[in-house]
Structure 1
Amino acid sequence: MKGWMYILLCSNGSYYTGSTNDLNRRIIKHQAGLGANHTKKYLPVELIYFEEFDRVQDAFYREKQVQGWSRAKKEALINGFSDELKRLAKCLNETSHEKWRKE
């Protein structure tokens, strides 16, 4: 069964990331206030990005991945900025090999 990972822009400017096996039906539910608690509070919502998968499980996995991303990284994905997405994906925390190599 096909699946979709999607990103909505909420009326307060926040993003909501979800997944479904019926994208049109799910967007209609969000707009009617029958979706997630977050989208209920910030209607209307606008579908601004989606990815289609052959299996709904893959869409769910992708949803969880993208939910953990920063706003900047989500915006790079939404806008198709693959170079920026790669740059933002690099780990530069205290244990990063990139950080230690530069010192």
Structure 2
Amino acid sequence: MPDADAPTPDGWCLYLLECRNGAWYAGITNRLDARYAAHVAGTGAKYTRANPPVRVLASRGYPDRSAASRAEAQLKRLPRAKKLAFFDPC
């Protein structure tokens, strides 16, 4: 289940999920609780329908969709070993 410290619904966030197969899935949303529930229910992304999430590894808030989308692109370019560190405070 998403972290209680997750960003509020009036902003956007980048999130990282751990899937049942051990893979990590990144995405953006403005409602983390609802988006996570959709992934778990099999109505989220195509990837998570086949590989359901087991937990939210990390999330970070952004002021708007554009900023969250840019951060998602940066995160997806990183090697797995550096993805969690991306969420650490500066």
Determine the structure 1 residue equivalent to 2:81.
72
CA-to-partner distance for each residue in 1:8-48, whole Å, 9 max, x for gaps?
00011100000011111111100100111111111243111
Aligned runs of 1:35-74 on 2, under 5 Å?
35-74=44-83
Determine the structure 2 residue equivalent to 1:22.
31
The alignment-based identity, stated in percent, is 34
Supply the distance in 2 between the matched residues of 1:7 and 1:60 (Cα, whole angstroms): 13
Instruction: Give the strand-richer structure, 1 or 2.
Output: 2
TM normalised by structure 2 equals 0.79
Supply the distance in 1 between the matched residues of 2:53 and 2:82 (Cα, whole angstroms): 23
Instruction: Give the helix-richer structure, 1 or 2.
Output: 1
Q: Is the 8 A contact 2:17 2:25 kept in 1?
A: yes
CA radius of gyration, larger in: 1
Structure 2 stretches lacking a partner, 5+ long: 1-9
Q: Is the 8 A contact 2:40 2:52 kept in 1?
A: yes
Structure 1 stretches lacking a partner, 5+ long: 83-103
Q: Larger RCO: Structure 1 or Structure 2 (Cα < 8 Å, ≥ 6 residues apart)? A: 2
CA-to-partner distance for each residue in 1:66-102, whole Å, 9 max, x for gaps?
0111111114335x4x8xxxxxxxxxxxxxxxxxxxx
Q: Is the 8 A contact 2:16 2:57 kept in 1?
A: yes
After the TM superposition, which segments of 4 or more aligned residues of structure 1 sit over 4 Å from their partners? none
Pick from 18, 38, 41 the counterpart of residue 32 of structure 1. Answer: 41
